Amino acid sequence: MTDQLRLMAVHAHPDDESSKGAATMAKYVSEGVDVLVATCTGGERGSILNPKLQGDPYIEEHIHEVRAKEMDEAREILGVKQEWLGYVDSGLPEGDPLPPLPEGCFALQDVDEAAGTLVKLIREFKPHVITTYDENGGYPHPDHIMTHKISMVAFEAAGDPEKYPEAGEPWQPLKLYYNQGFNRPRTVALHEALLARGLESPYGEWLERWKEFERAERTLTTYIPCSEFFEIRDKALIAHRTQIDPDGGWFRVPMDIQKEVWPTEEYELAKSLVDTSLPEDDLFAGIRNN
C-alpha cells in the first residue's frame, strides 16, 4: 500500500465519535493516516445530559446549531475530518409500550436509499478501513442500529459498479470493524483495579445490569494501543458539553489507572478482504504492506 492510509468511522450522532474509538483515531492521525468521521444525524433529539446546561432556553431552541458547533470543536481536537450524512435524529423511545418513532427520522429511512448516501461518501474518501457498530448498535438506540444496517450495505455496494452508479466511481474498502470499547473484560478489569486500590468504582451497577441482559459476549479481535491519546479523547468528549457532564461518570477512573490497567481500545473484525492474523494491534493489519 503506497498511498496514504485512510480510515472512516461511521457514527450515529455528534459525540459518538468522541466516546467510541476517539483515542484510536487520534493515534492514527498522529501517524499520518487520513481519518474521516461520517455522522449520520445532527443529534437534534439528544437529551441535554449536562445538568449545568439543562433548562437553558437558547440551547433548547438552537440544539441543532449547538451540537454542530460542539462537533466542530471535537473534530479540531481529534484532528479528523468530518461529514454529515444529513439525517434527523430519531430520539431514544422510552415507555411501555414504546412510542412510534418520529416521522422522517433516520431510523425510518429506507435502508438501501440511506446506504446510498454513505456509498457516495465512501467513493469520495476512499477509505481502506471502516469502523461502525454491531447489529445491536452497541446499545439498542434506533439510530445506532440503523447506522449498522447502512454501513453493512454500503461496505458491500461501494466497490460494485452496478450498485449506486450515480454515487461515483467504485471503491472497495478492505476491512470493516465494529466498535467494542464498552466490553465486559475492560469494565471488570477497571472495576477490580479501583476496588483493589480502595477507590469507589462507577461500574458496579453497570456490571449488575449486564448480568440481567444476558447478552452473548462479543469477540474482541483487535486491541489498539492508544493510551497516550486518552487525554485527547477526553478533551474531545468534553467538547460535547450538552451531552457530557465533565464531573460525571465518564471521568471517574483516574487516568493513570486507565493507562496502566487497560491501555487499548477494542474492535471486532466483521469483514476482511485481506489476510490477517488474530488478535491484531492495528486496524490496517494486512493492508500496510500489500
Q: What pLDDT shows up at residue 47?
A: 84
191 phi and psi, to 5 degrees?
A: -60, -50
pLDDT at 188 over 90: yes
pLDDT tens per residue across span 124-169: 999 999 999 999 988 889 999 999 999 999 999 999 999 999 999 9
pLDDT at 7 over 50: yes
For residue 250, give every residue at least 6 positions away whose Cβ sits within 8 Å of its Cβ, in sequence order, or none: 19, 234, 237, 244
Annotated binding residue at 13? yes
Q: What pLDDT shows up at residue 215?
A: 67
pLDDT band at 1 (very low <50, low <70, confident <90, very high): very low
pLDDT at 19 over 70: yes
Q: What pLDDT shows up at residue 205?
A: 86
Q: Where are the domains of the chain?
A: 6-182+220-256+263-272, 184-217
pLDDT band at 2 (very low <50, low <70, confident <90, very high): very low
Which CATH number does the domain 6-182+220-256+263-272 belong to among 3.40.50.10320, 1.25.40.80, 3.90.180.10, 1.10.10.10? 3.40.50.10320
Residue 13 Cα to chain centre, angstroms: 9
Please give the residue that has the higher pLDDT: either 206 or 219: 219
**CA dihedral over 121, 123, 127, 131, signed as positive or negative:** positive
pLDDT at 214 over 70: no
* Proportion of the chain above pLDDT 90, given as a percent: 81
Give the separation between CA 66 and CA 281, rounded to whole angstroms: 36
pLDDT tens per residue across span 27-81: 999 999 999 999 999 999 988 888 888 888 898 889 999 999 999 999 999 999 9
pLDDT tens per residue across span 189-205: 999 999 999 999 999 88
pLDDT at 258 over 70: yes
pTM score above 0.85: yes
Give the separation between CA 15 and CA 151, rounded to whole angstroms: 18
CB atoms within 10 A of CB 216: 7
Nearest to 181 by CA among 8, 15, 33, 18: 18
Q: What pLDDT shows up at residue 209?
A: 81
Annotated binding residue at 141? no
Nearest to 182 by CA among 205, 207, 160, 165: 207
